[in-house]
Amino acid sequence: MERRKPSRGKPLFVDEETDQLIHPFNSSFKKKQEDWEAQGIYYRYGKWTYEEEEKLLENWNLYLEKYESALKNPLDLLDRRRNKDLITLMELTDFFKVISRSLNRPTYSCYMKLRRDVHSITLKNGYFSEVELKKLKKLSRKYGKKYMYIADKMGRDRQSVLDKLHRHFQTVKKGIWSLEEEEDLIKAVREVTGLQDLDEIKQLEIPWRTVAELVPTRNEQQCRSHFLFFKRSRLHNINENASNFKKWQKEESQRLIDILSNGDYSFETDIDWNEVNQSFVDVSPSAIYTQRQFYKLKSDIPDFHRKSFSDLLEEISSSHKH
């Protein structure tokens, strides 16, 4: 899998002219990243900023204000059901164009982000209780592949029901991973991401279902969980071997704040931690270690995830001096 280029330096929002060019096209057709870049248009990829999330929800609310009367249930727009009437309505009302307005993101990326954010509020997510598992098995036997109907009965997102059915009925091993399984997992992750350095691989960039197909004894959830555990173990070992480094002190934290404040970083997603880590080679064993130091600083700020990057740095700097 080809790695997306970082979003550093790419604007969060586009002007009206660019907006009119990219979003109507991508709401109907697929165009490769290279095709847009040939025209001088560079999308952002990866983690969304708070400002982008706010804009996306603003677009969603604007759409609902205008067209909610034509919808039986607005959440139907966020489900992948093959409803011809709904698809026609979405085309006539420029659904994809409206929700993507001004955002410098692929239209499909805007749709999937909106889908995740809205469903995280309106539908149940995550852990299935034993009662839910029994209900899911009963519904799947009764209704077969009518996944949307089953999801409605469960009060859950269709995709989460599909994923649970896929995992639940797959015969896999449980318990401790063998060395062979772990080697298969690392090999599979490297193969599907195209990256050899595990520290560069981000969780959200990994297609776990594809990975699980290459690790026949485990399902995708097991692969995801164990890879995260593996990376944490590696980081713990790095920290254990950090005796050759000086201890990270308050002075290093202040230096980190100064570098980020004076650097060419408009948003946190623009930060190149490998580049920043070059200034801390005497106290940091890795870029991840330096990034964790910043996370510790910002986690002390109330509602840090709801603040712009510049405001966040200002509050961190102020609190760190006291």
Of all residues in the chain, what percent carry a pLDDT higher than 90? 7
User: Per the domain annotation, does 1 fall within a domain?
Assistant: no
CB atoms near residue 64 (< 10 Å): 14
Q: Do 163 and 91 share a structural domain?
A: no
At 144, the amino acid letter reads G
At 9, the amino acid letter reads G
CATH number at 140 reads: 1.10.10
Q: Do 75 and 150 share a structural domain?
A: no
- Given a cut of 50, whether residue 1 has pLDDT beyond it is no
Q: Which of 69-73, 138-142, 172-176 has the highest mean pLDDT?
A: 138-142
Tell me how far CA of residue 99 lies from CA of 59, 73, 107, 121, 176, in angstroms.
Answer: 5, 17, 8, 18, 45
- Comparison of pLDDT for 173 and 191, the residue scoring more: 191
Q: Do 51 and 141 share a structural domain?
A: no
Q: Do 106 and 38 share a structural domain?
A: yes
Q: Do 114 and 24 share a structural domain?
A: yes
Question: What tens digit of pLDDT does each residue of 14-65 get?
Answer: 888 888 877 765 555 566 677 777 877 788 877 888 889 999 999 999 999 8
User: Per the domain annotation, does 5 fall within a domain?
Assistant: no
Backbone angles phi and psi of 256, in degrees to 5: -65, -45
Of all residues in the chain, what percent carry a pLDDT higher than 70? 80
User: Per the domain annotation, does 53 fall within a domain?
Assistant: yes
Q: Do 316 and 256 share a structural domain?
A: yes
d(CA 253, CA 237): 22
Q: Do 114 and 23 share a structural domain?
A: yes
Into how many domains does the chain fold?
4
d(CA 222, CA 175): 10
- Given a cut of 50, whether residue 2 has pLDDT beyond it is no
At 137 the pLDDT is 85
Q: Do 264 and 219 share a structural domain?
A: no
User: Per the domain annotation, does 64 fall within a domain?
Assistant: yes
Categorize the per-residue pLDDT at 103 as very low, low, confident or very high, splitting at 50, 70 and 90: very high
State the sign of the Cα–Cα–Cα–Cα dihedral 199, 204, 206, 209: positive
Q: Do 117 and 35 share a structural domain?
A: yes
User: Per the domain annotation, does 198 fall within a domain?
Assistant: yes
User: Per the domain annotation, does 305 fall within a domain?
Assistant: yes
Q: Do 306 and 236 share a structural domain?
A: no
Could you tell me the residue range of the domain that residue 201 belongs to? 179-240
User: Per the domain annotation, does 98 fall within a domain?
Assistant: yes
User: Per the domain annotation, does 174 fall within a domain?
Assistant: no
Question: What tens digit of pLDDT does each residue of 220-247 get?
Answer: 778 888 887 777 666 545 454 555 667 8
Mean pLDDT score of the chain: 79
Is the pTM higher than 0.75? no
At 102 the pLDDT is 93
Q: Is 267 left (phi over 0), alpha (psi -120 to 50) or beta?
A: beta
